[in-house]
Chains A and B, each alone.
Chain A
């Protein structure tokens, strides 16, 4: 049987779910955990109020909250992440002032697994940088920072600063320190140079990036690592003299990357962006002082974040997207490049029009057995539609039905079968300061099918009172196991009999049928639908066919604003051909080449293109950069010889394929 309880409005479904669904989670949520509270502060007064409260809590005995302020001098970046222990949460949340102080709660993290954050540490320094340098920021996982592609000389790194968040149980001979600045990296390179060659294995061990006995994944040890590959595409150069562009890199924690549903994502990505901008500010100040430039001089920064999920608002108004939109253009941040996502064939998106929903519609959700990740399905109503206009019936494969004639935000339904097995969270998602964009959001959360009776075919029946042209969207959240990780999640998906997997000649079907409710359209990553970011799709170099996995727009339109994107901005080739499908870039060890494909890599290619453009003209604004790159892509389409590339929609390729 399902039972219900109420939930405070500001409680996030994923955070609430994780408190119970974590191993060892039980009657006392957040026990042994820290909760990242992301404070978005409007002015110095609010910042001071927050710090006063933190000091007060610390004075009560015990360590109190951890404060992480990565960019204290940032003009627009007034975000501070406070890691609160359970006892401190209520007091900190009480500081919330809906008009000016926004707190976003990310999912609670086991305290032991998350590195103790710290305030802005020592300032990055890169002597000899010229005022025309462009900073590449990389936020990723699995970065072999000693690789020669990131060195200007044998013992000269181009990495100005590296924050290794994946640093719990560190090991290594470098004193416990999660941040490495260029001087330290250079010293480490020198200390591990033998007979003219850097012993990168020894370096990685000394810096805690490989080896050891930790339970934390040591990604740099593998011969093929995502972060190294990305960094090479975005910023890799032959080791040797010449104009040098610095790199600022952040490696995310393994637990967060491994849990592909992205629930922990927000806090760490914000911190990473903040950190990059803080250190970019230090480098800019150093260059300004050396070249007699004004105190407002900023080196341009291009950041690449090659991650994505499946479920969300898709209208550019998620808190992370608004954060990106706010930050781009401030303090020299010229671009954030994101992949459109690799979920085109994931069957993770279902869409119903109001006309279709006049009578109840049924969708099957297949949850794979033996999954160790929780599954989530999100149902989104358009803005302005009340929960009273939505009816849902959830039928588990082996369990009682939940039949709701209306949806009441603030209520949670729970199915307890020897422990919490599933929940249906009914909420309203209200973007900060934009009540007109409030949307009803229903989240079905399922215990991992490995240990709960959630594997199998779920039926979701939907009925809604919508205008004929309005749409209701459902997304299955990403739940696979990323490359290089121990198997954990297995992707759940919608199973629609009208959906065609293969086309008439046996190839992967790329187009949607009107008869099918499961759509390839709208699979764009929900953090890639914002206004100011640059979103990249992937195609094949040989024949310009879109990569079968490259997700598609459209995005969901905002109520109060004109559409600004159809999908990705443009496309880069992360594949060669149908047969030889991978592209090559740096493996972990210097000189090695490994192969990968994915929209992650298209994103990194765009980041590199932006760096080139900014080297030529650092005054380019973010909009000018995007416009110029899209114009190049559009020109490539227009000037292509007839027959050399198949026609494609803007939802798949954006302005065009480079």
Chain B
């Protein structure tokens, strides 16, 4: 707020500006792109508590006049209260959810980048990489950053791949009437569909919702960058007869954002509900994981039914989303763990339908080391590396708070 506004007490309209301090906290929403913006808003419940916002702009003038009335002459404090610990995750609960969102975004994206690179198939694709360290002990010295691959997508050829995918849109369109209500809901809301499998509620699981919002924002940021690099035309541009039943979103088709986001959330929620699953179903029956995966696959497929994606976009999305989900889980743990850099050899899927089971089996095989005959051959393990996320204490705080909500 500017000095000028404070001075113009008599100008009722300007006094109102003082009361708008709370709006500064909403900067966090700028980072929310597209669908995720709705989710971010759930974390803004805290804004209601901001002083000045709940009170009308007229009554904000009341604070000025009341102070004038009671403040009296200045009294010097003799000592400062103890300083807050710096760089302490415990401070996070002092801030608002939107402030925390900015913190987590900054922490995540400091080490997560997307770069254009030539892929094994010769195309110019993109790879998401983890970068570490972001500087050494000296804040001013130059320092090399090592980086590792997380997930890479090629740029499939429009004629040899996407044109061959088109016939699937004809068949999937048969299901439009069946899936219509899901498709319309899912244009803006994925979490409700995941939340119906594991309980999600702004009061009961507020930390989990913050966590999942972070997962979603991260996935969206990475995926939008990749969509921009790969610049794949939507099915509607290849055929006059696709005639999608919802507005085609204003970004490239490959990878599918819905698929990426759904599988990222499913991956993280599977981890959150692991203990509950063991208690309820025993250690060998992964029913919760199964339902999350099925729901993610259905959300992805619904976009093909709707006519805004090719099935191969869902495959790319699952591979991207699962990788981001696993990556974030490692960062959340603030320890060391093995990560695999995965490549989607999309040309192998040129005329194939989306097969979420095979892709999930491929990730299982890669991460467990046990070969799986059902594993998709087009999900290739290209890099094995150790992630040291012991420095990610802020993220770890969020993870621990969320985990506690699942006991």
Q: Which residues of A contact B (CB under 8 A)?
A: 194-197, 199, 202, 205, 211-214, 217-218, 221-224
Q: Is the CB of A221 within 8 A of B353?
A: no
Contact, CB under 8 Å: B287 / A212: no
Q: Tell whether A211 pairs with B353 under 8 Å between CB atoms, given A199-B294, A222-B174, A223-B178.
A: yes
**Which of B168, B174, B286 sits near A195, CB closer than 8 Å?**
B286
- Contact: B290 with A214, CB < 8 Å? no
B113 → chain A closest CB, angstroms: 35
A212 and B286 contact, CB distance less than 8 A: no
B290 touches A197 (CB 8 A): yes
CA of A212 to CA of B172 in the docked complex: distance in angstroms? 9
The interface centre, meaning the residue of B171, B178, B285, B357 with most chain A CB atoms within 10 A of its CB, is B171
> Closest B-chain residue to A485, C-beta based?
B174
* Residues of chain B contacted by A214 (CB below 8 angstroms): 171
Q: How far is the CA of A223 from the CA of B178 in the complex (A)?
A: 6
- Report yes or no: B170 in contact with A197, Cβ–Cβ below 8 A: no
Nearest neighbor of A195 in chain B, beta-carbon distance: B290
Pairwise interchain contact A199-B171, C-beta atoms closer than 8 A = no
B171/A212 in contact, CB under 8 A: yes
B287-345, CB < 8 A from A? 287, 289-290, 294
A196-B294 contact in complex given A213-B171, A222-B178, C-beta closer than 8 Å: no
Assess the B175–A221 pair: CB atoms within 8 A: yes
Contacts of A221 in B (CB 8 A): 174-175
What 5 pairs across the A-B complex have the smallest Cβ distances?
Answer: A213-B167, A195-B290, A195-B286, A223-B178, A195-B287
B287 pairs with A222, CB closer than 8 A: no
Q: Please, how many angstroms separate the alpha-carbon atoms of A222 and B167 in the complex? A: 18
Q: Are A213 and B290 in contact (CB under 8 A)?
A: no
CA–CA, A213 to B287, complex, Å? Answer: 31
Q: Shortest Cβ distance from B374 into chain A, in angstroms?
A: 9
A213–B170 CB distance below 8 A: yes
Known pairs A195-B286, A213-B168, A214-B171. 17 more at Cβ < 8 A? A194-B357, A195-B285, A195-B287, A195-B289, A196-B287, A199-B357, A202-B357, A211-B171, A213-B167, A213-B353, A217-B174, A218-B171, A218-B174, A221-B174, A221-B175, A222-B178, A224-B178
Question: In the complex, what residues of A have CB within 8 A of residue B351's CB?
Answer: 213
Q: CB distance A197 to B287 under 8 Å? A: yes
Q: When the two chains form their complex, are residues B175 and A205 in contact, meaning their CB atoms are under 8 A apart?
A: no
- Using an 8 Å CB-CB cutoff, how does the interface string of B163-196 with A read, 1 for contact, 0 for none? 0000110110011001000000000000000000
Give chain A residues whose Cβ lies under 8 Å from the Cβ of B168.
Answer: 213
Docked complex Cα distance between A390 and B167 (Å): 53
Instruction: Tell me how many residues of B have a C-beta within 8 Å of chain A.
Output: 17
Q: What is the CB-to-nearest-CB distance from A299 to chain B, in angstroms, rounded to a whole number?
A: 37
Bound: A73/B369 CA distance, A = 54
Q: How far is the CB of B201 from chain A (nearest CB, A)?
A: 26
Closest B residue to A216 by beta carbon equals B171
Taking A199-B357, A213-B168 as contacts, is the C-beta distance between A194 and B174 under 8 angstroms?
Answer: no
Show 26 residue pairs from A and B whose CB-CB distance is below 8 angstroms, ordered by the A residue.
A194-B290, A195-B285, A195-B286, A195-B289, A196-B281, A196-B287, A196-B290, A197-B287, A197-B290, A199-B294, A199-B357, A211-B171, A212-B171, A212-B353, A213-B167, A213-B168, A213-B171, A213-B351, A213-B353, A214-B171, A217-B174, A218-B174, A221-B174, A221-B175, A222-B174, A222-B175
Task: Scan B341-357; emit 1 where CB is below 8 A from any A CB, else 0.
Answer: 00000000001010001
Which B residues lie within 8 Å of A212 (CB)?
171, 353
With a CB–CB cut-off of 8 A, which chain A residues contact B289? 195
- B285 neighbours in A (Cβ, 8 Å): 195-196
B-chain residues with CB within 8 Å of residue A224 when the two chains form the complex: 178
> How far, in Å, is B81 (CB) from chain A's closest CB?
54
User: How distant is the Cα of A460 from the Cα of B250 in the complex, in angstroms?
Assistant: 58
Nearest A residue to B351 via CB reads: A213
Give the distance to chain B from A205, nearest Cβ to Cβ, in Å.
7
* Cβ contacts under 8 Å, A217 to chain B: 174
Contacts of B353 in A (CB 8 A): 205, 211-213
Residue of A nearest to B305 (CB): A221
Closest CB in chain A relative to B166 CB, distance in Å: 9
The distance in angstroms between the C-alpha atoms of A560 and B289, with both chains bound, is: 70
Taking the closest CB of chain B, its distance from the CB of A146, in whole angstroms, is 15
In the assembled complex, the CB of B87 is this many whole angstroms from the nearest CB of chain A, namely: 42
Cα(A212)–Cα(B294), bound, Å: 19
CA distance A195 to B292 in the complex (A): 12
Q: List the A residue with the shortest CB-CB distance to B374.
A: A191
Q: How far is the CB of B356 from chain A (nearest CB, A)?
A: 9
CB distance from A79 to the nearest CB of B (A): 35
State how many angstroms separate the Cβ of B167 from the closest Cβ of chain A.
4
> Smallest CB–CB gap between A592 and chain B, Å?
11
CA distance A217 to B175 in the complex (A): 11
Inter-chain CA distance A211–B169, complex, in Å, is 10
Shortest distance from the beta carbon of B391 to any chain A beta carbon, whole Å:
36
Chain B residues numbered 217-273 whose CB sits less than 8 Å from any CB in chain A: none
- With CB as the reference atom, state the residue of chain B lying closest to A215: B170
